[in-house]
Structure 1
């Protein structure tokens, strides 16, 4: 996934490039060739890690999205659930993608009303080969779905979204947890 870079990304990457060039220059000033290779490799490794972390840090503080008017409706005839709402870019920079994550948890587990064996299903080495663990006989008590609900969201812009997915028929009551991520 390609994210949209802003001025802060380029500034941080420019500083990291200067650090890399400085490390290479220091490495070539050393007369010992073994230490020179180690210095170049260490400089490359450190600046690569710095670039990776800085990408996430700059994204976190410059790309801010907020979720408004989240509603859900369940269609009993097709056993689907629909979520709709609005996402708004609250920051000063354009957002490449906004991802909506919804987690459904069977309410018996969310409220503490848990019966024996609800979470733990004993399995063994032979279950893998018999296909019992793969066949889907176990029913997950929480389900997470992610959807890209907006792309290229300009500062201050708001977009509507609507997503559908299959509702687990064995859920009796559901606790909903929603998040959005701006990339």
Structure 2
């Protein structure tokens, strides 16, 4: 299923007509240098317009909502799992729905930044060996993206289940989620 809808095709047809008109106008130019410059400019502008218009049409025609998001930690496996439902609340089909989950250790969110929040182990031997290119720092933000639905028709919903490794040094976590329809 294509992620384009009727509006995408209409906008691209209008841009293509503008491109043809620009090419015809450039070909009528008598000065060779000016003609090539006009061809390049028309091509560049129409390509930018086409790419930009696809994002704009996506933003205004593809609407998806997240319902019943729950998470649970699997301590024995050091994983966290998320379950929920995504629903297409728009009038057009959606090719792909992406869920972005961002976990932040609470020290950064609340402004309570102490020395323990920025832990970077070091030792006497690290000075001489250079850690062999291994980064031992512990990031305080974790961002994961998952495709949770494909080919979602208008009014339909899809249940999902995703999981990933949970850093064992995270103590109190703030979570942020964002849905994107493509």
TM-score by length of 2: 0.90
CA displacement 1:47-83 (0-9 Å, x = unmatched):
0000010010000111110000000000111110000
Structure 2: distance between partners of 1:114 and 1:140: 14
Q: CA deviation at 1:161?
A: 0.4
**3-state SS of paired residue (2:136):** coil
The equivalent of 1:115 in structure 2 is 114
Deviation of residue 46 (structure 1)? 0.2
Structure 2 residue aligned with 1:158 = 157
Aligned residue runs from structure 1 range 33-112, under 5 A: 33-112=32-111
* Cα contact 2:118–2:138 (8 A) shared by 1: no
| Structure 2 SS opposite 1:93 | coil
Contact 1:71 1:83 in 2 (8 A): yes
Task: Give the drift of 1:136.
Answer: 2.6
Query: Normalising to structure 1: TM-score of the pair?
Result: 0.90
Residues 172, 120 of structure 1: alpha-carbon distance in 2 compared, 3 angstrom cutoff: closer
Distance in 1, matches of 2:176 and 2:64, equals 17
- Indicate if the aligned counterparts of 1:72 and 1:84 stay in contact, CA closer than 8 A: yes
SS of 1:85's equivalent in the other structure is: strand
Give the distance between the partners of 2:78 and 2:163, measured in 1 at CA: 10
Query: Within 2, Cα distance between the matches of 1:116 and 1:16?
Result: 56
Q: Distance in 2 between matches of 1:27 and 1:133?
A: 59
Q: Is the 8 A contact 2:107 2:117 kept in 1?
A: no
Residue 118 (structure 1) shift: 4.0
Deviation at 1:109, TM superposition (A): 1.5
| Separation (CA, whole Å) in 2 of partners of 1:73 and 1:116 | 29
**Structure 2: gaps of 5 or more residues:** 121-125
- Residue 120 of structure 1 and its aligned partner are, at CA, apart by 9.4
Question: 1 CA distance for matches of 2:133 and 2:117?
Answer: 18
Compute the RMSD of aligned alpha carbons.
Answer: 1.9
Task: Indicate if the aligned counterparts of 2:119 and 2:138 stay in contact, CA closer than 8 A.
Answer: no
Structure 1 contact 3–97 (Cα < 8 Å) conserved = no
CA distance, structure 2, for counterparts of residue 12 and residue 20 of structure 1: 12
Q: Answer whether contact 2:100 2:177 (CA < 8 A) is retained.
A: yes
Q: In the alignment, what sits opposite 1:15?
A: 14
Paired residues, number: 175
Gaps in structure 1 of 5+ consecutive residues:
122-126
Report the CA distance shift for 1:170/1:42 in structure 2 as closer, same or farther (over 3 A): same
